[in-house]
Amino acid sequence: MTSTKTVAIAVPLEAELVDQIRAVDPSVTVLHQPELLPPERFPADHAGDPAFQRTEEQEERYWAMLNSAEVLYGFPNENPAGLARIARENARLQWVHAMAAGAGGAVKASGLDQDILQKFKITTSAGVHALPLAEFAAMGILNGFKRTAELAQDQAARNWPSLRVPTRLVNGSSLVVSGLGEIGLETARIASALGMKVSGTKRSVGPIDGIERVVDNAELPALLATADAVVNTLPGTAYTEKLFNRGMFAAMKPGTIFVNVGRGTVVDEDALLEALDNGQVGYACLDVFAIEPLPQDSPLWNHPRVMVSPHTSALSAAENRLITERFCSNLRTFLDGGDLPHLVDTVHFY
């Protein structure tokens, strides 16, 4: 079912990875003009250097290139406005592949109506970031159990405590993963290797190998009562907004470790701060926040039992390669007329 297609590279990408896309099928024309793309400041810097500016002539060439393609690798200018413009201008557009795993928010922010969104497909890089996010979650769990925040405070104060305080064993403890998708299952795999007993939530409840209990969100409070650590991987949707509220934190055992690698909107940050202050949450490791960048006046910055990460836990030096491999696999499926995986739900935007 292969037919001639044109793919345009809309974001910075190494030449050898562009060649990997070209190698998928000889019928595919891949348009890549690196001089029109901002230089990367670090590996997988999809937006590129913000100081980069195209000349008027380069801007025309950039959009002409994108408008001549049926398939885009990345959102134009890596932002919702770029997606909105190409969707309205490019009548031949069939598929856009997003660099992010959670691209639904950007699609929603584009403001495109359903009539336009139904004219082409948008896939995400979901799964590519599962391992680095799961490793970050494991770090957060270990930080909490091994009291690294307190160690750092003592070190900064050059304080050698007279009383030696024991740490908690991860092995044999219980983990609840809110959202047993690809990230959640990878987190469960690592946690199981550390000797943790893992349960979690999923929209479609059913047995999963290696997971002790699988429930839906309605049963989450009862599950939280069994947890020594909780990891949220859920995306931000109308159904998950402030899921972790006062009631959810109150359902936890005192001292529970909380890690968020999903979306910040899933957590009521005021409720989390209360839970930290009253001891329900012993330590919080947070990569995402309701407002990003995290406002300067947020109490989370200075809380002694909080680690703030600037939404970077998914990043790794291998990211561009992994996304390209995912895109190449999808491109083969697309050319063969198959169903693309990891489509953005344009109703619920995840």
What pLDDT digit, counting tens, does each position of 174-216 carry? 999 999 999 999 999 999 999 999 999 999 999 999 999 999 9
Q: Is 158 a catalytic residue?
A: no
Parts of the chain belonging to CATH 3.40.50.720: 5-128+316-335, 130-308
Collapsed DSSP state (helix, strand, coil) of residue 50? coil
Q: Is the pLDDT of residue 1 over 70?
A: no
Is 198 in a helix, a strand, or coil?
strand
Q: Please list the residues that pair with 275 across neighbouring strands.
A: none
Does residue 311 have an active-site annotation?
A: yes
Contact 280, 254 (CB under 8 A): yes
For the beta carbon of residue 91, count every other beta carbon within 10 angstroms: 8
- Catalytic site residue from 246, 311, 321, 332: 311
pLDDT in tens, 65-88: 999 999 999 999 999 999 999 999
Instruction: Round the CA-based radius of gyration of the chain to a whole number and report it.
Output: 22
Q: How far apart are CA 274 and CA 250, in angstroms?
A: 10
Among residues 32, 97, 263, 305, the one annotated as catalytic is 263
- Tell me what the mean pLDDT of segment 90-115 comes to: 95
Cα 113 off chain centre by: 24
For 130-308, give the CATH class. alpha beta
Q: Please identify, in words, the CATH class of the domain defined by 5-128+316-335.
A: alpha beta
- Using alpha carbons, select from 237, 205, 239 the residue that is nearest to residue 223: 205
Tell me: pLDDT of 3 over 80.
Answer: no
Alpha carbon 333 to its chain centroid, in Å, reads: 24
- The residue among 128, 68, 62 whose CA lies nearest residue 99 is 128
